[in-house]
Amino acid sequence: MSVKSYILKRGATYLVVFVIAITIVWLLIRFAPGDPALTNVMRSMMAPGVRYTEEQIEEYRRRAIEFLGWNLPLPQQYALFWSRLIMGDLGYSTYFSAPVTSKLREILVRDLLLLTPSVLVSWFIGNYVGALAARNRKLDKFLLPIFYVLTATPYFLLGLLFAYELGVVYPVFKATIMSSDIDAIFTSFNGETLTNFLKAYTLPFLSLTLIAIGGWASGMRSMMIQELGSNYSRYMEMLGFSDRKIAEYAFRYAINPQISGLGIQLGTIIVAGIVVSSVFNYPGAGIALIYAINFRDVFLIQGIIVAYTLMVIVANFIVDILYAMLDPRIRLGISGV
């Protein structure tokens, strides 16, 4: 199988996955408990004392249903949804009062800004440290507990602790990050905005990265130990290769699953986004999704899920291609060694 046909095949698979995933989401939103029309009515009258008659509420509800397009027959709604999606129209967000696509662009940039560096830094550090720990027993004794503590710490706990200790008690950094902190470096880049940004950015970044390092490192460590104990390592040892050389080869094998893990991590950054949002108020997709669900902002929920499903799929696709280039066994469909 050539690289080209391999890519085509994988691409087709992912396309099917995408269609099925989006359809499930579309259905779930429609059949989940809670009434988006009613929630929309709520948003019109949230102040105490503001009171409407039954007719007024019916009118609001009717408008909300029309806005959602839920007065149409279901198949027609579904067809409309796909035709709009293909045209790149994800609808209008009542939460942001803006088209979903333009809002998603901003949200995505903020998420990538925080989460991509965090995932990458933790991946590199975690893998190096994990590989080191596997080769050096003394270091391992010292590092292993740290890995385990880091992986076992619930993110929000560490996040809250960081925010409280370094943001409130010893206010070295800011306990929250607002969109103003981020937007400022794009609109007017100077020393002040950069300092402000870094002050706000450090804690979310540090907490995410630290937790992730533990996971990558312990994964890498056990993988390396396994590879170092495998037959080819022993054979190399007998042939008189240096430890370093053996480790280099073991590392090449051990890193493979970590690469696919990286692909998945990069794709699923929305999960990390939700926790980091609730601890530091990070203005990314996580917080938008929480609000969108609470306010039953149907188009925004759909939009975020479509975008992030696409990200997972694209990330996986890229990893697949990389894999195929790195390891001919995969594209040739050879199993076992």
Partner 1 sequence: MNKGKISLAIAILLIAIIVAVPVLAQPPNIPREQTLITGGAWWEPPKKFNPLNYGGSVSGTNGLIYEPLYLWIPIKPENERFQPWLAAALPNWISPTEVEIKIRPEAKWWDGSPVTADDVRFTFYDVPRKVTSAAWAGVRNYITDVVVVDSKTVRFKFDPQNVNYGDFLYQLYSAPILPKKYYEPYVNQYGNELTDLGKWPVIAENKDPTKLLGSGMYKVLYTGDDYFILERVDNWWGKDVFGKLPGPKYIKGVIVYSNQVAANMLGAGELDWSTFYIPGGPTMVQKGYVVSFYSKSPYYLSANVAFLFLNTAKKPFNDPNFRKALYYAIDINKIINSAYEGAVVASNPVGLLPYWQQYLATDLLNQYGYKYDPQKAKQILDQAGYKDVNGDGWRETPDGKPLKVTIIVPYGWTDWMFAAISIADDLKAVGINAEAVFPDFGAYVEQIDKGTYDAAINNFGSFAAPTPYQLYYWAYNATPGIWTGNMGRYQNAKLQQLITQLGKIPPDQTDKMKSVLRDIQQILLDEMPALPLWLNGYWFLASQKYWTGWPNDNNPYAVPTNWNGQWQHGGLLVLLNLKPATQPAQQQPQPTTQPTAPAGPDYTTIGIVIVVLVIIVIAVYMFLRKKPKKEEAGKK
- Segment 228-247, which members bind partner 1 (CB under 8 A)? 244
Helix (H, G, I), strand (E, B) or coil at 93: strand
Count residues near partner 1 (CB under 8 A): 100
Residue 93 has φ and ψ, to the nearest 5°, of -90, 120
Q: At what angle do helices 3-31 and 74-86 cross, to 10 degrees?
A: 140
Q: Minimum distance between the CB of residue 42 and partner 1, rounded to whole angstroms?
A: 6
| Closer CB to partner 1, 19 or 190, in the complex | 190
Positions 135 through 194 that interact with partner 1 (CB under 8 A): 143, 146, 150, 160-171, 174-176, 178-180, 183-184, 186-188
Question: Looking at 6-14, 96-104, 225-233, 300-308, which segment touches partner 1 (CB under 8 A)?
Answer: 96-104
Task: Please name the helix (run of DSSP H) or strand (run of DSSP E) that holds residue 98, with its range, or none.
Answer: strand 98-99
Question: Looking at 8-16, 71-79, 218-226, 278-286, which segment touches partner 1 (CB under 8 A)?
Answer: 278-286
Tell me the C-alpha distance between 123 and 253, whole Å.
Answer: 16
Question: Looking at 13-21, 80-88, 228-236, 318-326, which segment touches partner 1 (CB under 8 A)?
Answer: 318-326
Q: Minimum distance between the CB of residue 33 and partner 1, rounded to whole angstroms?
A: 4
User: Contact between 79 and partner 1 (CB under 8 A)?
Assistant: no
Residue 198 has φ and ψ, to the nearest 5°, of -65, -35
Question: Looking at 2-10, 79-87, 120-128, 231-239, which segment touches partner 1 (CB under 8 A)?
Answer: 120-128
Tokens, residue 328? 């001919």
User: Contact between 113 and partner 1 (CB under 8 A)?
Assistant: yes
Q: Minimum distance between the CB of residue 20 and partner 1, rounded to whole angstroms?
A: 26
Helix (H, G, I), strand (E, B) or coil at 136: coil
Contacts of 210 (CB under 8 A, 6+ apart): 122, 150, 158
User: Contact between 35 and partner 1 (CB under 8 A)?
Assistant: yes
Contacts of 77 (CB under 8 A, 6+ apart): 69, 70
Contact status, residue 81 vs residue 72, Cβ threshold 8 Å:
no
Question: Looking at 8-16, 22-30, 83-91, 107-115, which segment touches partner 1 (CB under 8 A)?
Answer: 107-115
User: Contact between 51 and partner 1 (CB under 8 A)?
Assistant: yes
Tell me the C-alpha distance between 119 and 32, whole Å.
Answer: 33
Q: Select from 65, 72, 271, 322 the one that contacts partner 1 (CB under 8 A).
A: 322
User: Contact between 295 and partner 1 (CB under 8 A)?
Assistant: yes
Tell me the C-alpha distance between 258 and 222, whole Å.
Answer: 12
Give, rounded to a whole angstrom, the gap between the first and last alpha carbons of the chain.
18
Q: Minimum distance between the CB of residue 9 and partner 1, rounded to whole angstroms?
A: 21
